[in-house]
């Protein structure tokens, strides 16, 4: 009697963790969505390509409520990868899965995480003494971010306060996420994809070529973003 052994195609699995931005729901939903719409008007396209989790914080009491939150965010271009703070009985196979074990982060590498802005009692300033490469994100909502090195294209810096880059800023810089219009952005060589302070922003197409490669200061005045040479 012979035995035939058949080997199928090999499939590899890897454990890997990714950071996600978490939106925390609140009630009434109408008021939350109204505030969210105002924020989106100031920062259109902010959620494009982002990994987002919705923390319902026990605000949804039935399945219809969960579906409404998912639908309202989808119409605003927010694609959810998961849910938190909701009973399993309210979630079906057609909804994003329930996630557990998430942790808040100050420094994020791989993707951006931006919890709801809050004002801490004492500022905490983050200093990074290396280049921030493409695809990496640095987030510090408690204070300023200082990068001693360059910020590559496709990288992102998000600060509650100001951003200082001692090198080329070729990625995205978003300042004032917590402390508002008092924040500024400084860099020794500008080549940014996006600059934003307190929700007011300019993309690469809107940045004057005269500032390219120059040391600049970026601030806001009268709800407009201003770039000045240093």
pLDDT in tens, 46-90: 777 677 888 888 787 888 888 998 899 888 888 888 888 888 888
Q: Are 47 and 140 found together in one domain? A: no
Would you place residue 218 in the very low, low, confident or very high pLDDT band (cuts 50, 70, 90)? very high
65, 90, 115 - which closes a domain: 90
- How much is the mean pLDDT over the chain? 81
Q: Which of 144, 214, 139, 221 is nearest to 185 (CA)?
A: 144
Residue 214 belongs to what domain range? 126-229
Q: Which of 20, 169, 196 is nearest to 108 (CA)?
A: 20
Assess if residue 177 is contained within a domain.
yes
Do residues 200 and 224 touch, judged by C-beta distance below 8 A?
Answer: yes
Q: Are 130 and 216 found together in one domain? A: yes
Task: Write down the pLDDT at residue 20.
Answer: 67
Assess if residue 142 is contained within a domain.
yes
Contacts of 185 (CB under 8 A, 6+ apart): 162, 163, 165, 169, 173, 175, 195, 197, 217, 218, 219
* Strands (DSSP E) found in 25-112: 52-55, 80-84
pLDDT digits (tens, 9 = 90+) for 120-142: 445 578 999 999 998 888 888 88
Distance separating alpha carbons of residues 194 and 166, to the nearest angstrom: 17
Q: Are 72 and 132 found together in one domain? A: no
């Amino acid at each position: 009697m012979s035995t035939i052994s058949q080997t199928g195609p090999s499939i590899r699995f890897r454990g890997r963790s990714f950071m996600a931005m978490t939106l925390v729901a609140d009630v009434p939903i109408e008021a939350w969505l109204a505030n969210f719409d105002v924020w989106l008007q100031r920062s259109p396209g902010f959620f494009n390509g982002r990994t987002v989790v919705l923390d319902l914080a026990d605000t949804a009491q039935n399945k219809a409520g969960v579906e409404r939150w998912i639908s309202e965010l989808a119409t605003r271009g927010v694609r959810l990868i998961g849910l938190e703070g909701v009973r399993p009985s309210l979630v079906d196979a057609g909804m994003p899965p329930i996630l557990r074990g998430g942790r808040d982060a100050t420094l994020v590498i791989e993707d951006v995480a931006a919890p709801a802005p809050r004002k801490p009692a004492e500022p905490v300033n983050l200093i990074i003494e290396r280049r921030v490469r493409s695809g990496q994100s640095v987030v510090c909502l408690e204070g300023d971010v200082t990068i001693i090195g360059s910020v590559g294209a496709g990288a992102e810096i998000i600060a509650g306060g100001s951003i200082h880059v001692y090198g080329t800023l070729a990625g995205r810089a978003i300042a004032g996420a917590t402390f508002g219009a008092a924040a500024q952005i400084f860099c020794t060589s500008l080549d940014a994809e996006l600059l934003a302070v307190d929700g007011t922003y300019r993309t690469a197409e809107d940045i004057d070529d005269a500032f390219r490669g120059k040391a600049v200061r970026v601030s806001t005045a009268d709800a407009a973003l201003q770039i000045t040479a240093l």
